[in-house]
Amino acid sequence: MMQIDVLTLFPEMFAPLEYSIMKNAQDQGHLAFHTHNFREYAVNKHGHVDDYPYGGGAGMLLRVEPIVEQLEALQKSSHARTILVDPTGVPFTQELAMEWSNEEQLIFICGHYEGFDQRIREFVTDEVSIGDYVLTNGELPAMVMIDATVRLIPEVVGNDASIVQESYSDSLLEYPQYTRPQVFRDLEVPEVLLSGNHAKIEQWRREQALLNTLHRRPDLLETAQLSEAEKQWLSQQN
């Protein structure tokens, strides 16, 4: 069972994770998920967890003591993956989600205010961002990363093939998919998908995934594992 702990000043923001796949993962015993308000380790009776930055400057910084003391109370072992949610961190990717899904314990630290006391970084294993923009809090990015990770835990989604075939799993975007009706307002399902020829269907799907990636995220092709024939075919599509 994986354990995920979140250090946050607003535990109630994580209510959406009590539904759908996250809820199923917990009900089925694959996940233990807990939020922790590190204000419980505030430095005074007024509940302060932030202070003015040394040297002056705008905003307030989260203090090191409440967060580190909460961390030490939660870490089951020295192997716990401790993640600082921070816009200056490395970009979050599907590859990182897959790596995290094999961990025994993940601890996320969500920030507020202007930022963190720099010394907090000495107590984490990862500093991660979900994009090149700044949000008002770290809770929303943490939820995105948790959702992407939990669905990769074995048996959580229930269909390993769907995980293997989805976007980003092999550095390619997913191919287009269709269901009933066969025709909707003159928009038809591609004939090859109705042919029953599985070899042709797989070839079509692979080509569509390559085209999707070429037109929407060509940067992903740099890391995709492509055959020489596929590289040549792609060069003819430009």
Number of other CB atoms surrounding residue 16 within 10 Å: 10
67 shares its domain with 139: yes
Q: How many degrees, rounded to 5, is the angle at CA 50 between CA 32 and CA 59? A: 120
DSSP H helices in 109-174: 139-150, 160-165
Residue 130 belongs to domain spanning? 2-150
Residue 203: CA atoms inside 13 Å, Cβ hemisphere, count?
9
Residue with tokens 């390559």: 210
CA–CA dist 171, 221 (Å, integer): 7
Q: Please write the tens of the pLDDT for every residue from 40-56.
A: 999 999 999 999 999 99
- Total domains, the chain: 2
Structure tokens at 88: 């200056």
Give domain status of residue 164, yes or no.
no
According to the model, what pLDDT value does residue 82 have?
97
Of 118, 150, 182, the one marking the end of a domain is: 150
134 shares its domain with 29: yes
65 shares its domain with 108: yes
DSSP per-residue string spanning 83-100 = EEEEEEEEEP-HHHHHHH
102 shares its domain with 191: no
Mean pLDDT score across all residues of the chain? 92
86 shares its domain with 188: no
Q: Please write the tens of the pLDDT for every residue from 152-179.
A: 998 898 655 455 555 566 789 999 999 9
Of 150, 183, 201, the one marking the end of a domain is: 150
82 shares its domain with 180: no
130 shares its domain with 20: yes
Helix (H, G, I), strand (E, B) or coil at 139: helix
According to the model, what pLDDT value does residue 114 have?
81
| pTM of the shown model | 0.87
> CATH code at 190?
1.10.1270.20
Closest CA relative to residue 111, chosen from 54, 157, 66, 161: 66
User: Residue 118 in contact with residue 111, Cβ under 8 Å?
Assistant: no
219 shares its domain with 120: no
21 shares its domain with 80: yes
145 shares its domain with 175: no
The CA R_g of the chain, rounded to the nearest whole Å, is 22
Mutual angle of helices 198-216 and 228-235, in 10-degree steps: 60
Give domain status of residue 160, yes or no.
no
Give domain status of residue 7, yes or no.
yes
Q: Please write the tens of the pLDDT for every residue from 99-154.
A: 999 999 999 999 988 899 999 999 999 999 999 998 999 999 999 999 999 999 98
22 shares its domain with 133: yes
Give domain status of residue 181, yes or no.
yes
> CATH code at 61?
3.40.1280.10
Of 115, 150, 185, the one marking the end of a domain is: 150
178 shares its domain with 145: no
